[in-house]
Amino acid sequence: MIEAQGLTKRYGATVAVDNLSFEVKPGKVTGFLGPNGAGKSTTMRMILGLDTPTAGDVRIDGQHYSDLKQPLRKVGALLDAKWVHPNRSARAHLNWMAASNKLPRQRVEQVLDIVGLTEVAGKRAGAYSLGMSQRLGIAGALLGDPEILLFDEPVNGLDPEGIVWIRQFMHRLADEGRTVFVSSHLLSEMALTAEELLVIGRGRLISQSSTKEFVEQASGNSIKVRSPQLGELQSALQQTGLETRVEDVEDEGKVLFVDGKVTTDQIGETAAAQGIVLHELSLQRGSLEQAFMQMTGDSVQYHAHGTEQAPPVAPAEAVVAAEQEK
């Protein structure tokens, strides 16, 4: 279990992490979601004792990282896949890590096998693809067979096969009862990976809930209604206290939208009670990523990609496409 209390980090005038309090529990994958620059890496670095909090505290099973007797046996982390010495082979790198942490050498062969690098373990790490480097980073994180694992943006730059592999692998680790804390700036990726979500924007906690709850809350429903008696319907709905808006939609003419907590059943019944004819009554799912960007106070990212409208809830393929765009 990871527990943060009022965790804060300032770099001069920049508040990278702002009074964060949260818990990350074992047995599930917890996503740490926020746009670029939200403070995810800084938080992870503080958990690992690589950065000192300006205020507040973060503990691992009640202890500071620096007080752990054998840290690699407790916590494994993948922060930056490319920190390996380029001339060292994967095996040599892991042997060095194992030796300096008093871990048995045979564990190196085990973790190489777990991540599927046995065949290329003798090659110099500098020649590895990003996917192979990520696997090597994960092998290093697993070396001490730790209960707690931190992964900072592990799917960044990976091919579709690599993304699926990492996703399934994290689920397996959580199923084994471990605490898995994984950061990402992509809600669509986290929706497929994490059971719990810790969402931050500009260093602050926005929400901590199950992914399902967050997605429902973020996607904001709206109901679309077409009717030849739009004016009558609008006043009938307004009388029941609902907020409505009428928009001109291309090729469809005037369309009524009802926002907020309302169901299609409610609208259909109101219309029927007034004898109003409906030509369409449909639930419109909001754009998840766009809602997320609004919640986290970042709209720049999408405009940087040249898209005015954020993509809809992304299935795995769309996530892959987004990753390849980078």
The pair of three-digit structure tokens given for residue 142, joined into one six-digit string: 């697993």
Q: How far is the CB of 34 from ligand ATP (least distance, A)?
A: 5
- Binds ligand ATP (CB under 6 A): choice among 7, 16, 125, 225: 16
Where do we find the tokens 């030509």?
279
User: What distance in Å separates the CA atoms of residue 76 and residue 143, rounded to the nearest whole number?
Assistant: 8
Query: From start to end of 119-187, where are the E strands?
Result: 148-152, 179-184
CB of 37 or CB of 49, closer to ligand ATP: 37
CB of 168 or CB of 324, closer to ligand ATP: 324
- The answer to whether 196 and 31 are in contact (CB under 8 A) is yes
Number of residues that bind ligand ATP (CB under 6 A): 13
Sign of the torsion angle spanned by Cα atoms 146, 151, 157, 160? positive
Measured at the alpha carbon of residue 213, what is the angle toward residues 157 and 19, in degrees to the nearest 5?
75
Q: Which amino acid is at 164?
A: V
User: What distance in Å separates the CA atoms of residue 105 and residue 231, rounded to the nearest whole number?
Assistant: 77
- Binds ligand ATP (CB under 6 A): choice among 4, 38, 158, 187: 38
Q: Does 83 bind ligand ATP (CB under 6 A)?
A: no
Report the 10 Å Cβ neighbour count for 77: 24
Largest pairwise CA distance in the chain = 80
Which stretch in 39-47, 161-169, 251-259, 310-318 sits in contact with ligand ATP by CB under 6 A? 39-47
**Residue window 150-169: x/- pattern of binding to ligand ATP, with contact defined by CB under 6 A:** ---x----------------
Q: Does 87 bind ligand ATP (CB under 6 A)?
A: no
CB of 34 or CB of 144, closer to ligand ATP: 34
Q: How far is the CB of 185 from ligand ATP (least distance, A)?
A: 6
User: What distance in Å separates the CA atoms of residue 145 and residue 110, rounded to the nearest whole number?
Assistant: 10
Measured at the alpha carbon of residue 147, what is the angle toward residues 323 and 202, in degrees to the nearest 5?
45
CA proximity to 280, closest of 293, 271, 289: 271
SS3 306: coil
Q: How far is the CB of 153 from ligand ATP (least distance, A)?
A: 6
- Binds ligand ATP (CB under 6 A): choice among 37, 160, 286, 312: 37
Q: How far is CA 119 from the centre of its chain?
A: 32
- Binds ligand ATP (CB under 6 A): choice among 42, 89, 234, 287: 42
Q: Does 84 bind ligand ATP (CB under 6 A)?
A: no
CB of 38 or CB of 148, closer to ligand ATP: 38
Q: How far is the CB of 261 from ligand ATP (least distance, A)?
A: 32
Q: How far is the CB of 48 from ligand ATP (least distance, A)?
A: 13
CB of 184 or CB of 227, closer to ligand ATP: 184
The pair of three-digit structure tokens given for residue 57, joined into one six-digit string: 């505290």
Which stretch in 11-19, 292-300, 301-309, 314-322 sits in contact with ligand ATP by CB under 6 A? 11-19
Q: How far is the CB of 22 from ligand ATP (least distance, A)?
A: 15
SS3 113: helix
Where does this chain bind ligand ATP (CB under 6 A)?
11, 14, 16, 34, 36-42, 153, 185
